[in-house]
Amino acid sequence: MVRPRSLVWTFAGVFLLVLGAATVLELVVSAAVLRPIAAQRARDRAELAVDRASRQIAAMPDPYDLSELKRVLRSDRPADDGAFLVLSAWDGRLVAGRPLAADLSERIVALLVRAGLADSAAARAALRGAGGEAAADSATAGTRDGRAAEAAPPGEPAAAAADLHLDLIAHRTVTIESARFGDVAAFDTTPRIGLWSLPEARTLLLFLPFAVLASAVAGLIMVRILVDRLRVLERFATRVTGGDLAARVEAHGLDEIARLGERFNLMTERLAAARDQLEQTDQQRRRLLADITHELATPLTSIRGYVETLLDPKVPTTPEERAAYLHDVLEESKRLDRLIAELLELARLEAGAQPLHRERLDWMALCRNTTRRLAPRFAEAGLALEWTGDAEAAWVLADGRRLEQMIENLLVNALRYVPAGGRVVLSLERLGGTEGGRLRLTVSDDGPGIAAADLPHVFERFFRAGATAEHGTGLGLAIVREIVTQHGGAVRAEARAPRGAAFIVELPGEIA
């Protein structure tokens, strides 16, 4: 793992390296791309300048007026510091729009001769005839009528050629009365090319130390902020590792670190929920094991007591007492058998070991048949079992065996707890009165009822309310809830006034 201090210096080093590489790349791009573009723009401006100057010279009343020629060449020169115009006349005269040193004049004549714009002998003779006056910024040249040329404007320095690069970038022929008067040429003088001679290079290298310093300070500040935010995440991870799932990261902004903090918060919330669920499941498991142990121990203790009594020769028993003891042993073993069977059934349902075999069936007919089948048992116990459902079919998509088991458990629960002379009513209705809606099954009785404090717990394993705690195994209603839940329904218990209870089951219906 990289330490924060190492991260700062690593980032600073990489930042400076990238800055240096970017500077070199900018210089290369400037020399290879920007300078050719700038040169082309200079040539375009020179073309316009020589075109204007040649038209003005052709329109002059006296094209041999040297001062007017210089004024035209000076006023129409290209808008570049190193560019100027030169008139190469037919008689070899050289008129420039700016003062020229002698060596620069020689180079201009050589370029004009090479381009075919001047005769070599005539131009050099005219240049020698000037007597070197151009070098003294008072160059004169003979005219056709013998008038002297005007001196260059005072105070304007002559250009030195030693450290200049001279280029002929444009030219245009001047014609007066169908006769060739001369050529206007545009020259560009730039410093000899080198890395430091480029304006871009001078600007960049001048401000490079300040840019490096400012970039380094800004980079260190950014890295410091980044490291501080990462340390917040590190402290958060340390708390979570220590078991504090209530820890949260204060995530602000929309950047990657803020989104990472939000993901950490979501992860911690899910871990906390999973831990709570695990603790709840563990508590349920412990409670279930305790309940199973208690429920199994009760009949086993009774059976062992009866058997020990029958086998003890010191305890005198009559044949009638022995028969009664054996009958109690049989009942306790049956109770034990029912408990184990229902416990295994509930475990299979909760684990999904026996998936539902759904089919489209008439729930109304299933309830009616189950009521008819259990009616003799209710009559034998002195209870009245009534069916109040409709004659029309009520279609559901369900496992028929499980639905029948659910109805039977509800009725057997009423059979156990409603005293003789009581009344149990089974009804099925459509909610909303339309097909395809929800169907409601209600099993109500006029028995002792259920206390308000016990209503939320009646569907829990091994729960038996109040005075009825000695009846049943306490698993029948838990099996009912699991069957209804797996069918996408809901079940609840209600207390009826002035006495009695009702168990209500709702399932989604199917269209006929």
362-414: pLDDT as tens digits: 999 999 999 999 999 999 989 999 998 776 888 899 988 889 989 988 998 88
pLDDT of residue 496: 84
Please, how many CA atoms are within 13 Å of residue 117, restricted to the half-sphere of its CB?
Answer: 23
pLDDT(503) > 90:
yes
More confident residue, 14 or 509: 509
**Residue at 26 is within a domain:** yes
Quote the DSSP letter at residue 452: T
Contact in structure between 370 and 408 (CB atoms under 8 Å)? yes
Same domain as 323, residue 185: no
**Residue at 9 is within a domain:** yes
3-state class of 209 per DSSP? helix
**Residue at 148 is within a domain:** no
pLDDT-derived band at 505 (thresholds 50, 70, 90) equals very high
Kindly compute the dihedral angle of the four CA atoms of residues 170, 174, 180, 186, in this order, to the nearest 10 degrees. -30
For the chain, give the mean pLDDT. 76
Same domain as 162, residue 115: yes
**Residue at 147 is within a domain:** no
Same domain as 380, residue 493: yes
**Residue at 141 is within a domain:** no
Instruction: CATH number of the domain at 393, please.
Output: 3.30.565.10
Average pLDDT (405-425) is 89
pLDDT of residue 231: 86
Helical H segments across 312-396, by residue range? 319-351, 363-380
pLDDT of residue 54: 85
Same domain as 164, residue 77: yes
Average pLDDT (217-227) is 80
Write out the residue range of the structural domain in which residue 261 sits: 256-348
pLDDT-derived band at 15 (thresholds 50, 70, 90) equals low
Helical H segments across 242-318, by residue range? 256-311
pLDDT-derived band at 43 (thresholds 50, 70, 90) equals confident
Same domain as 176, residue 94: yes
Average pLDDT (183-202) is 64
Same domain as 267, residue 219: no
For residue 205, CA distances in Å to 80, 194, 210 come to: 24, 14, 10
Q: Can you spell out the DSSP letters for 383-425?
A: -EEEE---SS--EEEE-HHHHHHHHHHHHHHHHHHSPTT-EEE
Residue 228 burial (C-beta neighbours within 10 Å; 0-12, 13-18, 19+) = exposed
Same domain as 369, residue 485: yes
Same domain as 93, residue 1: yes
% residues pLDDT > 70 (the chain): 74
pLDDT(153) > 70:
no
CA atoms of 439 and 437, how far apart (whole Å): 7
pLDDT(504) > 90:
yes
- Which among 348, 373, 388 is the end of a domain? 348
In this structure, which amino acid lies at residue 108? Answer: I
**Residue at 303 is within a domain:** yes
pLDDT of residue 22: 67
CA atoms of 168 and 114, how far apart (whole Å): 10
Tally DSSP H helices, then E strands, for the chain. Answer: 11, 11
β partners of residue 233: none
Q: Which of 122-136, 246-260, 339-353 has the highest mean pLDDT?
A: 246-260
Name the phi and psi angles at 117, rounded to 5. Answer: -95, 0
For the chain, what is the domain count?
3
Same domain as 395, residue 297: no
pLDDT of residue 143: 35
In this structure, which amino acid lies at residue 432? Answer: G
Same domain as 206, residue 101: yes
pTM here is 0.45
- Which among 298, 316, 348 is the end of a domain? 348
pLDDT(223) > 60:
yes
Same domain as 326, residue 368: no
- Which among 244, 264, 282 is the end of a domain? 244
466-480: pLDDT as tens digits: 544 445 567 788 888
CA atoms of 295 and 56, how far apart (whole Å): 123
More confident residue, 103 or 126: 103
Same domain as 502, residue 412: yes
